[in-house]
Amino acid sequence: MRQIFFDTETTGLAAEGGDRIIEIGCVEMINRQLTGNNLHLYINPQRASHEDALRVHGLTEAFLSDKPLFAEIAEQLLEFLAGAELVIHNAPFDIGFVNAELRRLNKPPITDIVGSVRDTLLMARDLFPGKANSLDALCRRLEVDNSNRKLHGALLDAELLAEVYIRLTRGQDSLVMDDAGDSNSPSHETKLAAVDLSRFELPVIAANEEELQAHEKVLAELDKASGGKRIWQ
């Protein structure tokens, strides 16, 4: 399977508000092996980056002024991504920016070009609920060396994401483990005695007042962060 670990840097956070892509990093993996066939592009956005964004990526107008426009690299990018599974951390952000650029060129959305999109942020939230799941947090948790990440860079972040993904999915090549270690030995079934679960009485521990207040505080913060779009109470 061909996978592309994909990341962008942008002039700001609002693709629909006119912010543009300024850097793209793509790292190719085939059958869980990095190939070294990567794609790294800088792009002239024809606008300045917001101050907050500039502090994150450090790519100035002067540096980007002689770089190609997105229109000039679009075909190269689409050809590289065609048919692959895109692996992205917080996929809606990057997909939204790429699609905004493609719409300006009257091209179809990126999901019509690639095979599929996998969001590692959603994967991490399933594996580590309630914990910080930024790329930096996952690097620390999964022991991926990100000591060179002083500023965000699309290619470096895509490379880190590939290492994080391998650790997130470690052991998923096979869900069956052969303790004997002999692939030529005949298969056998292990029969386990049935357990009557009805004889167990499970305790129900109710939250105390302090815990309920902490829970309400978290829900209020989620509601605020989502712009009032929280769908549960």
Q: Select the more confidently predicted residue: 120 or 149.
A: 120
Alpha-carbon distance 70 to 119, whole Å?
A: 24
Confirm whether 215 is domain-assigned.
no
**Do 84 and 3 touch, CB atoms closer than 8 A?**
yes
In this predicted structure, what is the pLDDT of residue 137?
A: 93
Total domains in the fold of the chain = 1
Confirm whether 209 is domain-assigned.
no
Confirm whether 146 is domain-assigned.
yes
Q: Which of 50, 152, 188, 215 is catalytic?
A: 152
Per the annotation, the verdict on 188 as an active-site residue is: no
Confirm whether 134 is domain-assigned.
yes
DSSP run (H or E) holding 127: helix 120-127
pLDDT digits (tens, 9 = 90+) for 130-183: 999 999 999 999 999 888 766 678 999 999 999 999 999 985 543 333 444 444
Pairing of strands 85-88, 116-119: parallel
Q: Which domain holds residue 41?
A: 2-168
CATH number at residue 156: 3.30.420.10
Confirm whether 28 is domain-assigned.
yes
pLDDT digits (tens, 9 = 90+) for 215-229: 888 888 777 766 777
